[in-house]
Structure 1
Amino acid sequence: MNTAAACCETEPAQAPANTSRIGLIVPSSNTTMETELPELFRRQSQATGHRYTFHSARAGMKRVNREELAAMVGKAADCAASVSDADVDVIAYACLVAVMAQGPNAHVGSEQTIADAAANNGHPAEVTSSAGALVRTLQEMGARRIAMVTPYVPALTQTVADYIEGAGIEVVDSVSLSVDNNLEVGRLDPQQLPGIAQKLNREGVDAVILSACVQMPSLAAVQTAEDQLGVPVITAAVATTYEILKALGHTPAISGAGRLLAGDLVPAVK
């Protein structure tokens, strides 16, 4: 038996010193997270020289309803063990509303479940979730009042609003695009988002969430919306990227995606 070949089949190769491995857990119908995040990290690489690779596990979910969201949450541990086989440095659980629909502060338990599964599989990793990343990033920015755009039906948008408000952040206004087919969410035109955001009640808001969903494409519109609205603009994907960089100990240096990822955090509101 060829010992070297056997080792190659059972042990992931160690990443080079200037490379970080990012694990993603995404809904099976997600088509956006695995395009927007690599593009954001490509810009980070361009600015810093550090390289990032992506490794995904998929959990079945086609329609954005409470039953399928709950089923996806139940698959988190198995997905975490699977993606940790690649010896990733950080794992991002990328389905915001699946976690938020489980109740207040549910991201804490979800992130712990994923961390435990990876560690028990012999490959411990830092963990974030798009739900946790969004509320923690808003808190770090000092945002007390926000407005947001979601692709969800109104009832799920209210679930997201309640979750954010449970973290001490007032949701002044929201827009629901009422798309429940996750593939169709991924086909929405991001160029429409700045115009939609312009219609939000933004009086006294500290930030706008342009896409409170990792499946709704938004990267192409973040900088435009921020320039037009005059307040910080983030998305679920932007917040997840920010927390991945923090977990890796890397300073954000990403162009064209708003002030947060450019490394210019907004001071806390007094």
Structure 2
Amino acid sequence: MTFAPVQGALTAAPGTKGIRFALVLPSTNTSVEREVHHLRPQDCSWHTGRIMIKAPALDSADAFGAFRECLNEAMPAALETVMTCKPDYIVMGMSAETFWGGVVGNAAFEQGVRDLTGLEVTTGATAAGEALKAFGAKRIGVVTPYQPVGDEQVVAYFTELGYDVAAITGLCSESATSIADETPEDLRRAFLSVDGPDVDALIQCGTNLECIAVAAELERELGKPVIAINAATVWHAFRVNGIQDKFQGHGSLLELH
């Protein structure tokens, strides 16, 4: 499988229905908005609801647990706030919690959002699984910013979906904010560390890793899918809402599928 170099921006289909997407993310996140605002079909819009994170540390299993508790406690308020713009659809700009507890955990998370908003939702976990399915991937390599406690949940989720996780590299970022400090060189090394001739696709989790550009470049070099989770999440949200616009320069998922 090979991918030709691509250039340019989106090609928006005439008459695309304007959809208001509520983009819900941790207050510590500085990457999601930078990436998704490049991906906006004509007449559609992004509207951010920020989840107040008072415990941003991620440098241990206990800290990761405190972060999760804080996120779940504060998320209803973020949803309540963003719902005042009367969005049509919810997009989660955070992924760690959506992998927690496997397929059942992600389904419960999604149902919780539906119960609070009355709207459908795209989560990173669902989008990642669907993106890998679109490529027919079986054996995968995974990159995250997480500590081992988070990586275990990611591996369990993908395994439950039927994917064979060949390798996972967690960058062990010290805080939810410092995830965004990982450099393109860091991300490139992490992807290469989980690649191999028997690996069908590489995928990245953790929405505060600004990874779309690095993934698209590596994809062309390696000749296999390299999927950034923010690209997968946007792709899933668009496609389930009937938006078929193709985006060039952001990876083959958004260009070809």
Q: Structure 2 stretches of 5 or more lacking a match?
A: 1-14, 59-63
DSSP-derived class of the 1:181 partner: coil
CA distance in 2, matches of 1:75, 1:168: 33
Deviation at 1:17, TM superposition (A): 7.5
Bigger Cα displacement from structure 2, 166-175 vs 190-199: 190-199
Q: Which residue of structure 1 aligns with residue 9 of structure 2?
A: none
Deviation at 1:164, TM superposition (A): 1.2
Corresponding pairs, count: 236
From 52, 58, 76, the equivalent of 2:50 is 58
Contact 1:99–1:110 (Cα < 8 Å) also in 2:
yes
Contact 2:101–2:153 (Cα < 8 Å) also in 1:
no
Bigger Cα displacement from structure 2, 80-89 vs 238-247: 80-89
Q: Which residue of structure 2 aligns with residue 222 of structure 1?
A: 215
The residue identity in structure 2 corresponding to 1:93 is M
CA distance in 1, matches of 2:133, 2:52: 31
CA-atom RMSD in angstroms? 2.0
Task: Tell me the alpha carbon deviations over residues 21-62 of structure 1, each in whole angstroms, 9 at most, x when there is no partner.
Answer: 110111110111111111122xxx3xxxx2332111121232
Deviation at 1:240, TM superposition (A): 0.4
Task: Tell me the alpha carbon deviations over residues 68-98 of structure 1, each in whole angstroms, 9 at most, x when there is no partner.
Answer: 1133134333332322221112111222112
**Matched ranges for 1:1-270 at <5 A:** 18-41=17-40, 45=41, 50-61=42-53, 62-64=56-58, 65-119=64-118, 125-209=119-203, 211-262=204-255, 264-265=256-257
Bigger Cα displacement from structure 2, 102-111 vs 253-262: 102-111
Q: Which residue of structure 2 aligns with residue 8 of structure 1?
A: none
Deviation at 1:18, TM superposition (A): 4.8
CA distance in 2, matches of 1:191, 1:156: 22
Contact 1:190–1:219 (Cα < 8 Å) also in 2:
no
Deviation at 1:102, TM superposition (A): 4.0
DSSP-derived class of the 1:182 partner: coil
Q: Which residue of structure 1 aligns with residue 61 of structure 2?
A: none
The residue identity in structure 1 corresponding to 2:137 is A
Contact 1:70–1:98 (Cα < 8 Å) also in 2:
no
DSSP-derived class of the 2:142 partner: strand
Q: Which residue of structure 2 aligns with residue 6 of structure 1?
A: none
TM-score by length of 2: 0.84
CA distance in 2, matches of 1:17, 1:250: 7
Q: Which residue of structure 2 aligns with residue 268 of structure 1?
A: none
CA distance in 2, matches of 1:26, 1:54: 12
The residue identity in structure 1 corresponding to 2:76 is A
Q: 1:134 to 1:73 in 2, by over 3 A?
A: farther
The residue identity in structure 2 corresponding to 1:153 is Q
CA distance in 2, matches of 1:248, 1:137: 16
Q: 1:17 to 1:143 in 2, by over 3 A?
A: closer
Q: Structure 1 stretches of 5 or more lacking a match?
A: 1-15, 120-124, 266-270
Identity of aligned residues (%): 25
Structure with bigger RCO (C-alpha 8 Å, 6+ apart):
2
- Tell which structure's C-alpha radius of gyration is larger: 1
DSSP-derived class of the 1:54 partner: strand
DSSP-derived class of the 1:163 partner: helix
Q: 1:140 to 1:227 in 2, by over 3 A?
A: closer
The list of structure 1 runs, each at least 4 consecutive aligned residues, that deviate by more than 4 angstroms after superposition, is none
